[in-house]
Structure 1
């Protein structure tokens, strides 16, 4: 990718420094050096990533004061009834870390106001975040989908960090402080220092203000899987008019203790402890599936950053990106079909969404979404 200018790098550094001074939740964005020192084994993966195998009890989560005496739960007490164990064919970089360790990707991330996640459907122009999602309200204990994986173009350099992602949101909106548990894939050059498509997690317990971060970059998520490093590259990705690839993600609550688990390709990755995600202690009030981009262009023109495949929903299979086999985890801990989904496209001339009317056995409930950004209909 083109190099970021010195001015931009300086701005990012200053923004990060200020953010860390006022936000204790981001101090672990500079934790690579500590991980290096406590590494039992260091691995260089096929995609060039450097991964440290760190003692499972020395992972960032245990620096949180609420988790100082936390005992790791290695497996959920129960799985949602009806969960589909068929794993789609795709390769996410796997490593072999020793027993009692977890893999942690070396990154040099930062936190800025625009770099933070957002869920502002009503006023995307204020936050710079734009969405094409389906939304569902009710009472839930989790969500599932298989997400079509692409490598959209993300504008860089830009006045501020831009990204393109596709993900599941599990949301509690029952108080002033929105809480979320999120998982999906993203292209975020300023964060990962490349333009590759990577798996990610995100969380917040106070509407993206002082709590939350990506992956393991702050105390929060407890990883139990020794094979997947959060932030790993996903390969292969889908190609226009050619073979399509997707990843299967489930986020669900453990009813016995309130922890929120994440599985990828039906492998358990770990969980957010109930003591961290307090806003989700009574379950989720909303679920969402879809795409998000950041538009930071200052000249009045829209960004060229793409969402999904970079093509509109009407182009259909192998051209547009999709979510399929959309399911919810209901209050009885059963996998169930969604009822009452509705689309939200904050700028349909730039990024749109279309829910398919028919349900078939291969794709279940599904929709197409995405778009090119700056174009004839998007200025």
Structure 2
């Protein structure tokens, strides 16, 4: 992959990362049940066969896959009990949770995007990244444990921590990413939110279920939700291509609980990921305010020699072309750090934790464009 193409690929990724299309339920659809998590966070239980994701024209003849085919990914983390995990909602059989948002809220976030988010342009503060990516090969999936931290993120800033898998060719790109974010302009608060994002054929792109594409399967865990339960100090996510269907599954893994298969992005959405992807990546990304103030990343601290004192990704695993799972350091990797004055990156190996990265920093007003 040429240097020019890598830069184009990265810039397209960063631009798409901070698009602000919102997840929402069809206001004309009567939900079977509703869960009010807080004053502004409400989920409708929508018929699984009438969910927004299936309205995509490429999914006209799509048959819903209710669970992944058996794989090593599923077999390795089977349950002991479910006493440590309590869900906030459980939609009735045959329905899935879709977050409801107001038109005013959507309009406000669109206005914010128009005025403030111009990543990597000459008239705006930049987007910054700290992480690692694999060299070009063929990959079927990526997973990692990553830590969650309270951060002070202003209204016109955003801070993300994510896993990513994608392919690029001839200035085109397909990708999927998932993780947590603090993005007040998008979700309206300063909490951690889980999220998923994809870009596919013809440049189509979307957060969560904001527009057709992602197929929600779990009745209990939506793709986008506040992460504020006491046990959620670490997030363990996996994205992998199903061996039989070719769909790309998003799975949440929780200790002592069966894997939660949240849903999937159908293979029909992509034209460069039919037979795996050619890049995986993990790390943190931030978006500065228009005034040039970059927010903190990770836990706001630079990495040091004690891996426990800074934000981290651990047990970073990658599925190769044959669906064999290996540590990411088995493959050739490249460090990504564009603003060492404001953020840091450290990699290493620890017994029991395998390969890890520490990342993050305080941000500031001199982080570059």
**Same-fold call, TM cutoff 0.5:** yes
Select the residue among 244, 252, 260 that pairs with 1:264: 252
Corresponding residue for residue 13 of structure 1: none
Change (3 A) 1:252 1:337: same
Corresponding residue for residue 167 of structure 2: 172
Q: Does the Cα contact within 8 Å between 1:262 and 1:270 map onto a contact in 2?
A: yes
Select the residue among 281, 293, 297 that pairs with 1:288: 281
Change (3 A) 1:328 1:42: same
Aligned partners of 2:296, 2:99: CA distance in 1, in Å? Answer: 26
Corresponding residue for residue 360 of structure 1: 351
Structure 1 residue 286 displacement after superposition: 0.7
Between 48-57 and 212-221, report the one with greater CA deviation.
48-57
Q: Point out where structure 1 has 5 or more consecutive residues left out of the alignment.
A: 1-25, 239-243
Task: Tell me the secondary structure at the aligned position of residue 49 of structure 2.
Answer: helix
Q: Does the Cα contact within 8 Å between 2:158 and 2:181 map onto a contact in 1?
A: yes
Alignment of 1:156-305 (within 5 A): 156=155, 158=156, 162-205=157-200, 210-236=203-229, 245-265=233-253, 266-298=259-291, 302-305=292-295
Change (3 A) 1:297 1:46: closer
Between 146-155 and 182-191, report the one with greater CA deviation.
146-155
Structure 1 residue 188 displacement after superposition: 0.8
Structure 1 residue 50 displacement after superposition: 0.9
Alignment root-mean-square deviation, CA: 3.2
Corresponding residue for residue 13 of structure 2: none
Structure 1 residue 57 displacement after superposition: 1.1
Corresponding residue for residue 351 of structure 1: 343
Q: Point out where structure 2 has 5 or more consecutive residues left out of the alignment.
A: 1-18, 254-258
Q: Does the Cα contact within 8 Å between 1:90 and 1:245 map onto a contact in 2?
A: no
Between 99-108 and 37-46, report the one with greater CA deviation.
37-46
TM-score by length of 2: 0.81
Matched, 1:98 2:99: no
Q: Does the Cα contact within 8 Å between 1:351 and 1:369 map onto a contact in 2?
A: yes
Corresponding residue for residue 73 of structure 1: 65
The number of equivalent residue pairs is 333
Change (3 A) 1:28 1:56: farther
TM-score by length of 1: 0.79
Structure 1 residue 237 displacement after superposition: 7.1
Q: Does the Cα contact within 8 Å between 2:129 and 2:283 map onto a contact in 1?
A: yes
